[in-house]
Chain A
């Protein structure tokens, strides 16, 4: 049985249907209810501005080639080729008081199973000040040893796990585990995608510290075909040494998304599982909850870092900008995406160091 010749309408039909799906909602300005950290709301002024910007970009970048607009280079790896952009930004991380962190952790008796706040108070009254003191305690002796082993090994992954199980995952002792790393270990990561899951990642942003400056590497897809090579590059940054991942909402979004795409392509790279991961959103929530109306990265960078972006586009509108590029071949819409992502990485690093400095600075 032969199939019906596909009427030319099928592509249009699905395209029209797709236009009716919106992954965000445009709300009137000032309506901050629910906008706190919701990915599904764009203010109408932002929306209008972005639409105008898109038209402007399309006209001003007409007939300008990808290579001319972006001063990067094409790189090749086992998975193909992709386009890489690198910029350097001076940055001054605070000094970290490791002794203070170590002292805090060994004085936290509640890290031991079976000890709550009340018990800790009673133990202290009876002279048990540190985990080491408990090593001789008849009841807690057996539970304390693994805790001492873990803290003295100073493996940040295990410490995060330990602290996270006994306290909230946003506890300062979790953040402090980042102090066990060299600055060069941090990998700041932020991705831009075609939407919320099951679609291509179109830009991978990676920040790494080098010579007291932040190098931002961006892997931008000039076509979807390059996604695997860009995934491969990104994963290379995360493997080896004592790398520590720093993201903003990466536990819920960036990391599972990347693992999802690795699975999609059936790539023979092990999915990222065992890497210490510091999600700055969680620490920010704990630190600034109820202080600011919004805990989005762009809101925090204004409030804390006093950075005011120009010509930025709302992250939720990245998919339609990229789609416009794919459809027209005009790379104008990519310019603000690249800028947006670069600023996200930079702000992420600054915010992370700010929180570290507040808690453990010296």
Chain B
């Protein structure tokens, strides 16, 4: 058996042996079938019979709860039959109530198309008149009215719904009779985007209520730590969780592979990936390899083919790259060759983890942790077909998250720690959707609190002051000049946008903060893994001009951060350490940038950019004076310890709160504010805050413990990129003191030995004023 051969190679080959730090076996499972509380309509039963489908436990559980009127969130893995679990109750409802309708929301067009096919087939087979149809930007004008009036299952996406809601008169039939809102892939709606979608769903619910329906919600997500909380935040309703997977799967060997096991790493993670890929392919395993960027996908492919050519030209030709830019016919050829077995190894970027249509393979190699455990498991889920044994390999990079998992495999294979965040209180996001809502129906300060929260009326006078809304006897009426839905883009926090232009073509847009950070004059900008040199940043026209660059250096901006506490919302004590959560005002001033090759500084250039000021939410902690004494008496650098602890906390935030470390900022000081107290701040890098620091504040114990373990267990002596060095540090990782960091983090994780509860000093009050 080929998988066993590769496993044997991994344990016997002296190079591989050292790097395989953990092998976890996920045992095969036989199917578990469930029973339904009430029988299904005959047409659906015969549909299932004819397709030879017997319902698994989790499918029955979901169907039973949905039919009992509950909002349900399903978190079982891909290919476990989630779609059927929500299609059955939807069709059952359409069958018994000829007016009933359902709305399916998908994040991408490809997914909408797949679902349309499934629904059409089911409607055809059962004879239930669902008339499923996609209604999105591609729907022709001539078909729109008929779909609105006749289709009882409408498939759409959030962008379309955002623009459709103000036309609610035309959608009366849907809104008056909407029984189910199905939101598939709901985990995509997290962070800033998720916060927008949460508001959009509230606007949708508000219109349903206006026309007399109260639809039930059915959500599906990948594995999360907080599915029930997440779905409640996203929709504003209570949910029941269905998570026990009854579908069968084969045995899977999951290998954690650490090129940096010795703290050095002779070769790059990408070269190691190439070796593993060639070994898999040589052993006749069809293998899918995921890399962090398009360029890496190309390079790994190139190297792997060169390597394989030494064995045989045929083997070399059986390895190829698969990426977004390829023509459909090229993709189809690759897919066909995978099916007929001619293609053995395919290298792709993380971005394609869902869009790729190549079914399941024998082995998956994940080169570098893709940012979330959720994505990791989705990628690993590509390995294993028809109950066969399969292999998944995670190749670690030299960064704190990857290295944390390598040193703590039990964390990786335990249940998810990742919380998906949706913030319904960011005033910038909320106010935009209030404008849209006021353009849909007059906003009522009393009645609309259920949708927009108790404090939304406070925002209205602010919007009225610039004539965007007008107070009338019927409520607040939108009176802005442009279409409200056009003002609000679901992607970001409203603000200025900078356009990144390369030879007159726009590469991407960025907000001001990101542009200052990544696209200042002279910066080497990474866009989809490609390098560009910034020629000019025009602050007047918000345009950044770049050209392609092929250089062996990178740039790192230097900035000074100032932070003022505006309001302390909550305080708590964690292991005797004073912690707080509140609103802060952050001022970031970019002063220059370093040009670096590896760790060598080639030069430092000054920058003159105006300071950036924004209000956001933060948590902060004040290490005890015992900790300070403890560090100082050993003649260690306290400020360096605080700084290291700040970096460690930020680097492990994504382990607990689904985000990118770039979404978060930090500040530490050994003597902050009037009281000259030591402090570490961690804040959301977005105007108004997006709930990251807020969630972290709830789970500080876990965050402290993992950050401590990360630094303690790192094999380096003085700190390294795998523990306390930060790639985004504005102070160029100065000062840092690893031993002091461990001492400080250690004190954050354990109850103080003698309880010196001299009373809690109001930290926020102290630094205020």
Contact A11 B463, CB 8 Å, known A4-B689, A18-B480: yes
Provide the residues of chain B in CB contact with A320, threshold 8 Å. 481
Please report the C-alpha to C-alpha distance between residue A225 and residue B466 in the assembled complex, in whole angstroms.
Answer: 17
Q: Are A18 and B482 in contact (CB under 8 A)?
A: yes
Q: Which residue of B lies closest to A263 (CB)?
A: B169
Among B467, B474, B485, B688, the residue within 8 A (CB) of A228 is B474
Asked if A17 CB lies within 8 Å of chain B CBs, one says yes
Q: Are B617 and A10 in contact (CB under 8 A)?
A: no
Contact A194 B481, CB 8 Å, known A7-B427, A264-B441: yes
Q: Chain B CB within 10 Å — which of A10, A194, A195, A323 has the most? A: A10
Q: Which residue of A lies closest to B166 (CB)?
A: A198
Contact A326 B467, CB 8 Å, known A4-B427, A18-B481: yes
Asked if A259 CB lies within 8 Å of chain B CBs, one says yes
Please report the C-alpha to C-alpha distance between residue A197 and residue B169 in the assembled complex, in whole angstroms.
Answer: 12
Provide the residues of chain A in CB contact with B458, threshold 8 Å. 3, 5-6
Stretch of B431-439, B518-526, B645-653, B725-733 lying at the A interface: B431-439
Q: 1/0 per position for A33-44, CB-CB distance to B under 8 A?
A: 000000000000
Asked if A269 CB lies within 8 Å of chain B CBs, one says no
Q: Are A323 and B463 in contact (CB under 8 A)?
A: no
Asked if A15 CB lies within 8 Å of chain B CBs, one says yes
Q: Are B462 and A199 in contact (CB under 8 A)?
A: no
Smallest beta-carbon distance A219→chain B, Å: 16
Q: 1/0 per position for B466-503, CB-CB distance to A under 8 A?
A: 11101111100111111111110000001100000000
Contact A265 B569, CB 8 Å, known A6-B459, A11-B463: no
Please report the C-alpha to C-alpha distance between residue A323 and residue B464 in the assembled complex, in whole angstroms.
Answer: 13
Asked if B442 CB lies within 8 Å of chain A CBs, one says yes
Please report the C-alpha to C-alpha distance between residue A329 and residue B69 in the assembled complex, in whole angstroms.
Answer: 53
Asked if A13 CB lies within 8 Å of chain B CBs, one says yes
Smallest beta-carbon distance A8→chain B, Å: 7
Provide the residues of chain A in CB contact with B495, threshold 8 Å. 13
Q: Are A21 and B483 in contact (CB under 8 A)?
A: yes
Smallest beta-carbon distance A253→chain B, Å: 14
A-B contact count (CB 8 A): 137
Q: 1/0 per position for A219-232, CB-CB distance to B under 8 A?
A: 00001110110000
Q: Are B468 and A198 in contact (CB under 8 A)?
A: no
Q: Are B428 and A197 in contact (CB under 8 A)?
A: no
Q: Are B615 and A224 in contact (CB under 8 A)?
A: no
Provide the residues of chain A in CB contact with B440, threshold 8 Å. 198, 264
Q: Which residue of B lies closest to A7 (CB)?
A: B615
Provide the residues of chain A in CB contact with B166, threshold 8 Å. 197-198
Please report the C-alpha to C-alpha distance between residue A255 and residue B42 in the assembled complex, in whole angstroms.
Answer: 46
Provide the residues of chain A in CB contact with B481, threshold 8 Å. 18, 21, 23, 194-195, 199, 319-320, 323
Please report the C-alpha to C-alpha distance between residue A270 and residue B161 in the assembled complex, in whole angstroms.
Answer: 26
Provide the residues of chain B in CB contact with A5, threshold 8 Å. 458, 567, 583
Q: Chain B CB within 10 Å — which of A4, A13, A195, A263 has the most? A: A4
Asked if B465 CB lies within 8 Å of chain A CBs, one says yes
Q: Are B169 and A323 in contact (CB under 8 A)?
A: no
Asked if B629 CB lies within 8 Å of chain A CBs, one says no
Interface positions, chain B 141-192, Cβ under 8 Å from A, are 166-169, 172
Among B470, B486, B494, the residue within 8 A (CB) of A223 is B470
Smallest beta-carbon distance B263→chain A, Å: 43
Contact A11 B425, CB 8 Å, known A18-B480, A196-B483, A225-B470: no
Please report the C-alpha to C-alpha distance between residue A278 and residue B298 in the assembled complex, in whole angstroms.
Answer: 64
Among A3, A4, A23, A223, the residue within 8 A (CB) of B482 is A23
Please name 19 pairs of A and B residues whose Cβ atoms are closer than 8 Å in the assembled complex, sorted by A.
Answer: A2-B569, A4-B615, A6-B459, A10-B427, A10-B459, A11-B465, A21-B481, A21-B486, A194-B479, A198-B440, A224-B470, A225-B470, A227-B477, A228-B474, A259-B169, A260-B169, A263-B168, A264-B442, A265-B442
Chain A positions near chain B (C-beta within 8 angstroms): 1-8, 10-15, 17-18, 21-23, 80, 194-200, 223-225, 227-228, 259-260, 263-266, 271, 319-320, 323, 326-327
- 11 other A-B residue contacts (CB within 8 Å) besides A21-B483, A266-B210: A3-B427, A7-B615, A10-B427, A13-B495, A21-B486, A198-B484, A199-B479, A200-B477, A225-B470, A265-B474, A319-B481
